Structure 1
Amino acid sequence: MHTLIPFAAPAGPQCQDAMPRLELPYLAELLGLLTPTPPVLGNDDSLSPLHERVHAKSLNLPGVDGLLPWAALDARQLGLTRNHGDTGWAWITPCHWQINADHVAMDHPDTLALDAHEIDALREAMQPYFAEDGITLHSLNHSTWLAHGEILCDLPTASLARACGAKVDRWMPRVAQARSLRRLQNEMQMLLYRHPVNDARAAQRRLTVNSFWISGTGTLPSGAVDKSDTMSVQHSLEAAALRDDAHAWVQAWQQLDSSLIALLLRQAKAGQALELTLCGERMAAGFELQNTAWWNRIQRRFTTPSPAELLRTL
């Protein structure tokens, strides 16, 4: 099994400053047993973060920036592509936008903690407006819908991970076909302002839903595989990294080290095949267990960088 750990070295200044404080003994020992593989390079201006590109490659998905077809893959697994095809799909995620004097920022949608009743009520209210633009909304989970419509075909969109905690305007789609979607976002702000779901949430002093995010667009090729078949993606560092919460991120890393990484270390010592990719913003560093001569393994223990040194390169 190939294990991918996104946000292993987030770009936020607080998390960057916290890296020297990381104590990851199991990762340090595991790295001494593994052999590096060619790294994958990324940048912080891409619509699709590096970890999504690495994951997409493992699934034989096309690697066009902003067009990694995650939504279409979900639609295929739900049987929806049999009637609607493999293109024109997107994730629609209800979210809360913070309106500031000079910019709009977005909280991570998970902080809304929408329940099944709320997400269904919002979809029912919003569907007629989406239908005017030829978009149908399908249930997916308690935080996201699947959307299908011709206007979404080959529309490059920024990953939700890009927009969370950032200035939303930077990541909004700017191509001509997105104009009606920006209008739709404005309409939803007015619709949701006095929606019963938001009235109830406001009365409980909870964040309200005042917009939505579009992501996961792209056409699904016939050669794509099931998301669970090739790679295990660990998301436990993501929430703290996106908030640049150094304390929570360090705690999450140490918990990951004492659980999953400790398990991988036992597997490596038992000679079980494994791959590990640690993904930052600039680089994804890959490692795998190889049968090497005993003197090479001993030499590697003295030349392998510490986890903190490695993470600073990502």
Structure 2
Amino acid sequence: MSHLDILLPFGLPPAELASDLLRALKAPSLAMLLARARLRHQAFDGFARALPHEAWLALQFGLPDGTKAGGSLPVAHSARQAFGLPPAAGVWFILHPVHILAASDHLVLIDRRHLQIAEAESRVLFESARPLFEEAGRQLVYGDADTWFVRADDWGELHTSTPDAACGHNIDIWMPKGDGDRNWRKLHNEVQMHWHGHPVNEERAARGLKPVNSLWLWGGGTADAQNNPLSPATAGPYTQSFHLPSWLQTRSGQPAATMAEVVAPGTEKRLLVLDTLIEAALAADWSEWLTRLHQLEADWFAPLLAALKDGQLERATLLASHNAALSEFTVTAHSLRKFWIKPSLARLVP
């Protein structure tokens, strides 16, 4: 049976704005798919250290969901592989150079997608921070402008949060906690002081860009904790996966330009991740959220409806989420024939 799962992070509108947003949303194909689907809804802790769609992806690809015990998603080794770094022993974490905004009485993590760190800038900041890590007995490794890695074998019980889970909030409850948190805070503060007034940040300020004034630590774990019992060559439970996040790229993820490429014959079970709503939702830019959802309707949902109707797909499951819920809508060619059920977007409100 040909089956497609589509993961749509932040496809569910916030409850307080849902009626206005759904009234403005013109998505007839999506409305048809939702109305005639079988629905299953899951509630999540809105203060968890990973977002619902992140926890779902980790589960699908055999990565332990430490968030259920107040811990973290141990994805750093998987991310290292995605950057072509060799396998390494020990406990590794992902590090993102970020901007943290000082509000009136708390600190807020700004979405790193907005930071626009150039490769040359990141390299300079990396080299300036490396001696501080070495002095603390930590190995620092460069991935790309946005992603570095640090080894800290004695921080195996340190609970960390994904950057998107913490983004836009008072970061206090999302900061690393547990064994090693004091050592991390000390090292982190030293880096922050070292970067204050750094020429890279002076030049960024002159161009109207936010300074890179902090680091976000997350994803810690050992290689053993992140070994997928399912072969990466088979993309986990899927025969093909498209648009996976960087920390899962080694699980045979690949780009896809059109729905026709995704539903091409010869593949039984596929996964498509459509992540274009995340940035707008984290910024609470609901006008942009609507614009992007309208584009998804044209590019993906209308072709999906056509693929189900003409038999290219037998079944599709749309998994839409926000920060505290995930709803699964499973639709088949047969269920689409229920002509007496009118298209509606109302089921996007859990």
Instruction: Output the TM-score relative to the length of structure 1.
Output: 0.87
Q: 1:139-288, aligned counterparts within 5 Å?
A: 139-218=142-221, 219-223=225-229, 225=232, 226-229=250-253, 231-271=271-311, 272-273=313-314, 274-288=316-330
Structure 1 window deviating more from structure 2 (202-211 vs 132-141): it is 132-141
Q: CA-to-partner distance for each residue in 1:39-77, whole Å, 9 max, x for gaps?
A: 333120211111111111211111220422222212234
Residue number in structure 1 paired with 2:112: 109
Q: Distance in 2 between matches of 1:290 and 1:103?
A: 48
Secondary structure, aligned partner of 2:276: coil
State whether structure 2 residue 5 is matched by structure 1 residue 2: yes
Q: Distance in 2 between matches of 1:243 and 1:51?
A: 18
RMSD: 2.4
Cα contact 2:155–2:179 (8 A) shared by 1: no
State whether structure 2 residue 312 is matched by structure 1 residue 306: no
The residue type equivalent to 2:72 in the other structure is L
The residue type equivalent to 1:44 in the other structure is G
Q: CA-to-partner distance for each residue in 1:103-156, whole Å, 9 max, x for gaps?
A: 111211111101110111111111111223333222223212122221442422
Residue number in structure 2 paired with 1:126: 129
Question: How many residue pairs are counted as aligned between the two chains?
Answer: 305
Q: Distance in 2 between matches of 1:236 and 1:152?
A: 33
Cα contact 2:33–2:331 (8 A) shared by 1: no
Query: Kindly tell me: are residues 81 and 287 of structure 1, through their superposed partners in 2, closer, same or farther at Cα, counting changes over 3 Å?
Result: farther
The residue type equivalent to 1:148 in the other structure is R
For residue 10 of structure 1, report the CA deviation from its aligned partner.
4.7
Residue number in structure 2 paired with 1:40: 42
State whether structure 2 residue 107 is matched by structure 1 residue 69: no
Secondary structure, aligned partner of 2:56: helix
Query: Kindly tell me: are residues 105 and 76 of structure 1, through their superposed partners in 2, closer, same or farther at Cα, counting changes over 3 Å?
Result: same
For residue 11 of structure 1, report the CA deviation from its aligned partner.
3.8
Q: CA-to-partner distance for each residue in 1:136-185, whole Å, 9 max, x for gaps?
A: 22222321212222144242211111221111112112223211111122
Q: CA-to-partner distance for each residue in 1:235-288, whole Å, 9 max, x for gaps?
A: 100111001111111111111111121222222123214332111233322233
Query: 5+ unaligned residues in a row in structure 2: which ranges?
Result: 233-249, 254-269
For residue 228 of structure 1, report the CA deviation from its aligned partner.
4.1
The residue type equivalent to 2:277 in the other structure is L
Q: 1:7-18, aligned counterparts within 5 Å?
A: 7-11=10-14, 13=16, 17-18=20-21
Cα contact 1:15–1:246 (8 A) shared by 2: no
Q: Distance in 2 between matches of 1:79 and 1:117?
A: 20
The residue type equivalent to 1:311 in the other structure is L
Query: Kindly tell me: are residues 63 and 176 of structure 1, through their superposed partners in 2, closer, same or farther at Cα, counting changes over 3 Å?
Result: closer
Query: Kindly tell me: are residues 248 and 277 of structure 1, through their superposed partners in 2, closer, same or farther at Cα, counting changes over 3 Å?
Result: same
For residue 223 of structure 1, report the CA deviation from its aligned partner.
1.5
Percent sequence identity over matched residues? 29
The residue type equivalent to 2:306 in the other structure is R
Query: Kindly tell me: are residues 145 and 172 of structure 1, through their superposed partners in 2, closer, same or farther at Cα, counting changes over 3 Å?
Result: same
Q: CA-to-partner distance for each residue in 1:73-112, whole Å, 9 max, x for gaps?
A: 1223445453x23x51221111111112311112111111
Q: Distance in 2 between matches of 1:191 and 1:55?
A: 36
Cα contact 1:67–1:157 (8 A) shared by 2: yes
For residue 311 of structure 1, report the CA deviation from its aligned partner.
1.7
Cα contact 1:7–1:237 (8 A) shared by 2: yes
Instruction: Output the TM-score relative to the length of structure 2.
Output: 0.79
Residue number in structure 1 paired with 2:265: none
Q: Distance in 2 between matches of 1:16 and 1:138?
A: 47
For residue 304 of structure 1, report the CA deviation from its aligned partner.
6.8
Query: Kindly tell me: are residues 12 and 90 of structure 1, through their superposed partners in 2, closer, same or farther at Cα, counting changes over 3 Å?
Result: farther
Secondary structure, aligned partner of 2:72: coil
